[in-house]
Amino acid sequence: MTSSFLPAKPDLKFKPHLLRNRGNKLLTGIAGLFSLIAVVPLIAVLAFVLFKGISVIRPMMFFELPPPPGLEGGGIGNALIGTLLVTGISCLFSIPVGVGGGIYLAEYSGNNKFSAFVRFGTNVLAGVPSIIAGVFIYGLIVATRILFGNSYSAVAGGLALSVLMLPTIIKTTDEGLKLVPQELRWGSLGVGASKFVTTMKVVLPSAVAPIATGVVLAIARSAGETAPLIFTALFSPFWPEGVFKPIATMSVLIYNFAIMPYDAQVTLAWAASFVLVILILAMNLLARWISGFAQR
Amino acid sequence: MMFPSGVTSLPVPMTLSSHSANLPDDQVAITCEDVTISYGAFEAVRNVYLELPRGKVTAFIGPSGCGKSTVLRCFNRMNDLIPSFGLKGRIVYEGQDLYAPNVDPVEVRRRIGMVFQRPNPFPKSIYENIAFGARINGYSGDMDELVERSLRRAAVWDECKDKLNESGYSLSGGQQQRLCIARTIAVQPDVILMDEPCSALDPISTLKVEETMHELKKEFTIVIVTHNMQQAVRVSDMTAFYNAVAVEGGSGKVGYLVEYDETANIFNNPQQQATQEYVSGRFG
Amino acid sequence: MTASGSDALYKLRHRPPSEKLVDGSFKILVTVLAALVGLILLAIFLVVFMESREALGKFGLSFLVNSKWDPNTDQFGAFTSIYGTLLSSFLALLLAVPLGIGSAIFLTEDFIDTRIRAVISNMVELLAAIPSVVLGLWAIFVLEPFARPILQIINQYFGWIPFFSTVPTGPGMMPAVLILVIMLLPIITAISRDSLNQVPPDLRQAAYGVGTTRWTAIFQVLLPAAISGIIGGIMLALGRAMGETMAVTMIIGNSNNFSFSWFAPANTISALLANQFGEADGLQVSALMYAALVLMIITFIVNVLAQWIVKNLSLKYD
């Protein structure tokens, strides 16, 4: 006789018709659909830019100037040089200041009010819209002609970009240095090294990979920035005439030429987009490679 | 319990909780005079009187949280790195108060070296690990020779001699720790502080590090913090036992020096009940 | 006092003044460099404020509610742009938030193979690296022509609603919103994914342990645990959307005439700045600086709020 105390044999079979199981399936489907919607435009942008770029690009474009409106042909040579130059100028300022500020935060600041202020300032600066960086440099340098009487210039553009790079570099330096085990600092101080030697010879070399990753990502981002440049570096249809003169950059070229009614200009905009995207993707891959290198 | 008779050199109590062996001045390397260490409002260790003999190995033992490492790290001002750190009393090294305002902690560390709990070689080659500190100290002799001599004295030369240009991390944990010892002795300090140098090592590596210590005590004054009482017995001449007590007001426990004497006395004929209980394994 | 015999060999036992000088100067140097960040921030506020004083004095707060922007008569009101900035950002968030969080859930749950998830994650992150000016170019030539027929259908059937009342013919608010959605998706997805990944696995096991289904666990346990990070990410995305310039400038139509319709050309503060700064002079520069000041204050509030949320509303697991 079966005892009535024993429960009936439980039915553990999966019942797909249950509301909860149907709901589960529905929600899973929706999440999948959302990811698809999120990914498709991304692939579309990338594929279109690459496809369009490859179809219009000619090697000679790297060595030619853009044509005057209405004429055919031409290239993006001056814009390519300009982008490299302006980005280089921005690095000259933002890397020393950013790494130095990061060193201060990670190595020298106790948890005092000043460092809290610097951290807060870094976060706020990171949220400042890129166009504001342009407005700032316009008001500070371009309008005042403070740089030896020059108004629009490559230097002004570079400084505007460096305002945007600064917070990224400070943050990655700060975080990279914090990953260095405290014992390493003790070891160095323990043999009588000064704080300066400890920081420069032991701590900083150990954090080179994460810092370099952050710097490369910051450069990649600034190479594609346009808003801070349109009224600081301005544009120029000619080869660069020095760092104190207006200069062409690829991003401003894309902006200026995209809305022109001439095919030659639009073609150059696509070519510049292609080069810029390849450049930036390559730098992102480089950054990944560096940070992977660090984890080994 | 066995109490060997005939032990006469009893420590002279300085306060209720602290003892100090009385040594002639020229045999003392470091003296603690009523040292109280705190972190912010929290007192870590209180009223320590201590005279560390030159050219001997002194072991600090005691349960966790008794402040033995804290005291050790004061001897070369490593505690300066903690912002809330505060010290009362005097720590005297060669007639100078280490915490006098005009003392440069960096110069202190060039004379009082330290080996840490976990091996911490620099991310450089084995050779550079040794040469780094020596260069900082302005070493003017033959660097290759110094590297070899230091590695030999730390008993790790055989493992390192064929790969001096490889990273310090290519060594095993025990070898890394002996590399760190070599790094410390390459600077030729007067005193070597060791903060539980074997706690991260396996027994065989521990044995090798202990052998190294026996070699080193011929030349250096060594202070070692250890959790391992057998290790204290094996390597040390003097032993200081610290304990922690709960304090009124309830800000946790505060450490104090219970008893300080020759190692044999501490383990065989302790004067204090707490020491007796600790060394016989009844607590801690 | 015994000087150790090794001092002859080790010449720097006593640090020479030069060494101490380097040590001390380095500390001062990095402190100054760190201070520079705060200085730049203050300088930005100061420059923009000083330059906008003329317009501030002339128009006062009416600048914010007046929609007339006419350089010929020196009459400036930024209402159209401010409205455009707020509307485009909120509409973009409305679309991007569910898509982003849904994708983040999909990427953190084990619905599909880990490797495919990693590929998608990487792609989303790479998309965040595409310059906004390139997205703007793409929007002009691909997105807007593609979306126009769909918007036209909406206009045909729902044109009686004021928001859809104009026939879409090219650049306008809605295409700008769509390109913003594409720009915000990587930010929201990445931050939500990271927040979900940081929820301790014990929590999920605890939910499964009491017999919840997967989605009950997601809605009742995982999302609430990750919510502060997700909201912080949304706020950061909002700040980004408000300040976003290039792609929006290229596709929004840059019209300073106010319209309720989302299909009509419109403007945002940053688009206004990008468009007019190069050729402006006199009072117009000051008015543009005033607009920049407004944008700065709005994004400042949003960003500080985002930081505060992440810092103070996160659930603590100790």
Q: Which residues contact B36 (CB under 8 A, 6 or more apart)?
A: B43, B45, B46, B47, B48, B87, B88, B89
- Do residues C71 and C284 make contact, with C-beta atoms less than 8 angstroms apart? yes
- C15 CB neighbours in chain B (<8 A) are 104, 106-107
What is the number of alpha carbons within 13 Å of residue C37 lying toward its C-beta?
37
Distance CA A226, CA C131 (A): 8
Confidence of residue B2 (pLDDT cuts 50, 70, 90): very low
**pLDDT number for residue C294:** 93
Distance CA C47, CA C57 (A): 16
What average pLDDT does the segment A216-231 reach? 88
**pLDDT number for residue C291:** 92
Cα distances from A239 to residues A85, A159, A247, A254, in angstroms, run 12, 21, 8, 17
Confidence of residue C74 (pLDDT cuts 50, 70, 90): confident
With a cut of 90, say whether residue C43 has pLDDT above it. yes
How many domains, in total, are found in chain B? 1
Domain ranges of chain A: 78-295
Rounded to a whole number, what is the distance in angstroms from the first to the last CA of chain B? 18
C84 contacts chain A (CB < 8 A)? no
With a cut of 50, say whether residue C103 has pLDDT above it. yes
**pLDDT number for residue A94:** 93
Chain C contact partners (≥3 CB pairs within 8 A): A, B
Nearest CA in chain A to B104: A194
Specify if B179 maps to a domain. Answer: no
With a cut of 60, say whether residue B18 has pLDDT above it. no
* Six-digit token string for B107: 């110069």
- C1 CB neighbours in chain B (<8 A) are 94-95
What average pLDDT does the segment B127-135 reach? 90
Chain B contact partners (≥3 CB pairs within 8 A): A, C
A282 contacts chain C (CB < 8 A)? no
Q: Tell me which architecture the domain covering A78-295 has in CATH.
A: Orthogonal Bundle (1.10)
The shortest CB-CB distance from B106 to any of A110, A194, A205 is to A194
Please report the residues numbered 8 through 37 in chain C whose beta carbons come closer than 8 angstroms to any beta carbon of chain B: 9-15, 20, 23
- B134 CB neighbours in chain C (<8 A) are 10
To test the contact with chain C by mutation, choose from B96, B107, B109 the residue with the greatest count of C C-beta atoms within 10 A, namely B107
Four-residue CA torsion sign, A233, C275, C284, C269? negative
Confidence of residue C6 (pLDDT cuts 50, 70, 90): low
Could you tell me how far CA C165 lies from the centroid of its own chain?
A: 29
Nearest CA in chain A to B179: A187
User: Which stretches of A171-293 are assigned E, i.e. beta strand?
Assistant: none
- C214 CB neighbours in chain A (<8 A) are 24, 28
With a cut of 60, say whether residue B12 has pLDDT above it. no
**pLDDT number for residue B247:** 74
**pLDDT number for residue B5:** 38
With a cut of 70, say whether residue B19 has pLDDT above it. no
Distance from CA of B221 to the nearest CA of C (A): 12
**pLDDT number for residue C178:** 93
Distance CA B27, CA B213 (A): 20
Q: Are strands B96-97 and B57-61 parallel, antiparallel or unpaired?
A: unpaired
**Are residues C111 and A125, on separate chains, in Cβ contact within 8 Å?**
no
The mean of the pLDDT values for chain B is 83
The shortest CB-CB distance from A31 to any of C27, C105, C299 is to C105
- Do residues A100 and A169 make contact, with C-beta atoms less than 8 angstroms apart? no
Cα angle, residue B217 at apex, residues B164 and B30 outer, rounded to 5°? 115
**pLDDT number for residue B1:** 37
A225 contacts chain C (CB < 8 A)? yes
**CATH code of the domain in which B49 resides:** 3.40.50.300
Distance CA B165, CA B147 (A): 12
To test the contact with chain A by mutation, choose from C137, C193, C267 the residue with the greatest count of A C-beta atoms within 10 A, namely C137
- Do residues B261 and B239 make contact, with C-beta atoms less than 8 angstroms apart? yes
Chain A contact partners (≥3 CB pairs within 8 A): B, C
* DSSP 8-state class, residue A67: P
C2 contacts chain B (CB < 8 A)? yes
Nearest CA in chain B to C14: B107
The shortest CB-CB distance from C250 to any of A30, A34, A259 is to A259
B94-101: long-range pairs with CB below 8 Å, 24+: B94/B29, B94/B190, B94/C1, B94/C2, B95/C1, B98/B74
> How many other CB atoms are found less than 10 A from the CB of residue A63?
11
**Are residues A45 and C135, on separate chains, in Cβ contact within 8 Å?**
yes
With a cut of 70, say whether residue A294 has pLDDT above it. no
Cα distances from A218 to residues A24, A47, B35, in angstroms, run 42, 24, 50
**pLDDT number for residue A295:** 56
C56-312: in CATH 3.40.50.2300:
no
A18 contacts chain C (CB < 8 A)? no
Specify if B192 maps to a domain. Answer: yes
Confidence of residue A86 (pLDDT cuts 50, 70, 90): very high
Q: Which residues contact A79 (CB under 8 A, 6 or more apart)?
A: A66, A248, A249, A250, A252, A253, A272
**Are residues A42 and C47, on separate chains, in Cβ contact within 8 Å?**
no
The shortest CB-CB distance from B140 to any of C2, C9, C23 is to C9
Confidence of residue B17 (pLDDT cuts 50, 70, 90): very low
Distance CA B197, CA B181 (A): 9
Three-state DSSP class for residue B191: strand
**Are residues A191 and B180, on separate chains, in Cβ contact within 8 Å?**
no
Tens digit of each residue's pLDDT (9 = 90 or more) over A3-48: 556 667 777 777 777 777 778 888 888 888 888 888 888 888 888 9
What average pLDDT does the segment B157-171 reach? 89
To test the contact with chain C by mutation, choose from A114, A226, A229 the residue with the greatest count of C C-beta atoms within 10 A, namely A226
Specify if B3 maps to a domain. Answer: no
Of residues B175 and A75, more confidence is placed in B175
Domain of residue B259 covers: 12-120+188-279
Distance CA C15, CA B106 (A): 8
**pLDDT number for residue C90:** 94
Give the containing element (helix H, strand E) for B259: strand B253-262
Tens digit of each residue's pLDDT (9 = 90 or more) over C113-159: 888 888 888 888 888 888 999 999 999 988 888 888 888 888 888 87
**pLDDT number for residue B79:** 86
Rounded percentage of chain C residues whose pLDDT exceeds 90: 24
Tens digit of each residue's pLDDT (9 = 90 or more) over B197-239: 888 888 888 888 888 888 888 888 999 999 888 889 999 999 9
Of residues B109 and A65, more confidence is placed in B109
Distance from CA of A192 to the nearest CA of B (A): 4
Q: Which of the residue ranges A124-128, B19-23, B209-213, B244-248 would you say has the lowest mean pLDDT?
A: B19-23
- C38 CB neighbours in chain A (<8 A) are 117-118, 121
With a cut of 90, say whether residue C40 has pLDDT above it. yes
Tens digit of each residue's pLDDT (9 = 90 or more) over C181-222: 999 998 899 889 888 888 888 887 888 777 777 888 888 888
Domain ranges of chain C: 56-312
**Are residues B138 and C12, on separate chains, in Cβ contact within 8 Å?**
yes
Looking at this protein, which amino acid is placed at residue C246?
Answer: M
Confidence of residue B65 (pLDDT cuts 50, 70, 90): confident
Point out which residues pair with B43 in neighbouring strands: B38
Does ipTM top 0.90?
A: no
- A202 CB neighbours in chain B (<8 A) are 122-123, 132
The residue assigned the tokens 């921005």 is A90
Distance CA A74, CA A273 (A): 16
C29 contacts chain A (CB < 8 A)? yes
- Do residues C174 and C149 make contact, with C-beta atoms less than 8 angstroms apart? no
